[in-house]
Amino acid sequence: MISGMDVSAEGLVTLSAVLREGTFEAAAASLHVTPSAVSQRIKALEQSVGRVLVRRVKPVTATPDGEVLARLGEQWSLLVAEAQGELTGIAHEPDVDPRLLPRVTIAVACNADSLATWFLPVVAEFHGAHPVSIDLHRDDESVTTAMLRAGDVVGAVTSEPTVVRGCKTVELGSLRYFPVASPEFIDRWLPNGVRARDMRHAPMVMFDRKDHLQIKALKHLVSEPISPPVNYIPAASEYRRAIQAGIGWGAVPEVEIDDEQIGRRLVPLSRKPIDVPLFWQHWKLRSPLVTALTELVVDHAARNLVPPRRGLAPVPSGGR
DSSP 69-94: HHHHHHHHHHHHHHHHHHHH-GGG-T
pLDDT band, residue 152 (cuts 50/70/90)? confident
257 touches 263 (CB < 8 A) = yes
Smallest Cα–Cα separation from 114: which of 139, 150, 133, 145?
A: 139
7 pLDDT more than 90: no
Task: Indicate whether 25 belongs to any domain.
Answer: yes
Cα gap 107→124, rounded to integer Å: 14
Task: Indicate whether 291 belongs to any domain.
Answer: no
251 touches 274 (CB < 8 A) = yes
Query: Can you tell me the mean pLDDT for 13-28?
Result: 91
Tell me the pLDDT of the chain averaged across its residues: 86
Task: Indicate whether 155 belongs to any domain.
Answer: no
247 pLDDT more than 90: yes
| Confidence (pLDDT) at 3 | 45
Whether the link from the prior residue into 98 is cis, omega within 30° of 0, is: no
pLDDT digits (tens, 9 = 90+) for 220-240: 999 899 999 999 999 889 999
255 pLDDT more than 70: yes
97 pLDDT more than 80: no
| Confidence (pLDDT) at 312 | 47
Helix ranges (H only) for the chain are 9-21, 24-31, 35-49, 64-88, 112-114, 120-129, 141-150, 183-189, 196-199, 212-221, 236-244, 254-258, 288-304
| Confidence (pLDDT) at 49 | 86
| Confidence (pLDDT) at 95 | 61
Could you tell me the CA-to-CA distances from 177 to 97, 174, 216, 238, 267 in Å, in that order?
Answer: 44, 9, 11, 16, 13
Query: Can you tell me the mean pLDDT for 264-271?
Result: 94
pLDDT digits (tens, 9 = 90+) for 66-96: 888 888 888 877 777 777 666 555 455 556 5
Of the three residues 77, 97, 117, the one that is the final residue of a domain is 97
Query: Can you tell me the mean pLDDT for 97-118?
Result: 83
1 pLDDT more than 50: no
What is the amino acid identity at position 177? Answer: Y
| Confidence (pLDDT) at 227 | 93
Cβ neighbourhood burial of 79 (10 Å; 0-12, 13-18, 19+): middle
Cα gap 82→106, rounded to integer Å: 11
Task: Indicate whether 28 belongs to any domain.
Answer: yes
Q: What total of structural domains would you count in the chain?
A: 2
pLDDT digits (tens, 9 = 90+) for 274-311: 999 999 999 888 888 899 999 999 999 999 999 987 64
Cα gap 41→226, rounded to integer Å: 56
pLDDT-above-70 percentage for the chain: 88
- Looking at per-residue pLDDT, the higher value among 26 and 102 belongs to 26
pLDDT band, residue 192 (cuts 50/70/90)? very high
Category of 50 on φ-ψ map: left (φ > 0), alpha (ψ -120 to 50) or beta: left
pLDDT band, residue 141 (cuts 50/70/90)? low
Task: Indicate whether 1 belongs to any domain.
Answer: yes
Task: Indicate whether 29 belongs to any domain.
Answer: yes
CATH code for the domain of 72 = 1.10.10.10
CATH code for the domain of 182 = 3.40.190.10
Helix (H) / strand (E) element for 172: namely: strand 167-181
Task: Indicate whether 33 belongs to any domain.
Answer: yes
Of the three residues 48, 78, 97, the one that is the final residue of a domain is 97
pLDDT-above-90 percentage for the chain: 55
Cβ neighbourhood burial of 140 (10 Å; 0-12, 13-18, 19+): buried
Of the three residues 97, 118, 136, the one that is the final residue of a domain is 97
Cα gap 252→239, rounded to integer Å: 9
Task: Give Cβ neighbours of residue 282 (< 8 Å, ≥ 6 apart).
Answer: 154, 155, 156, 167, 168, 170, 290, 293, 294
Q: State the residue range of the domain holding 250.
A: 175-275
Positive or negative, the CA dihedral 255, 258, 261, 263 is positive
State in Å, rounded, how far the first CA of the chain is from the last one.
39
Q: How many CB atoms lie within 10 A of CB 130?
A: 18
Task: Indicate whether 127 belongs to any domain.
Answer: no
Smallest Cα–Cα separation from 51: which of 16, 1, 13, 14?
A: 1
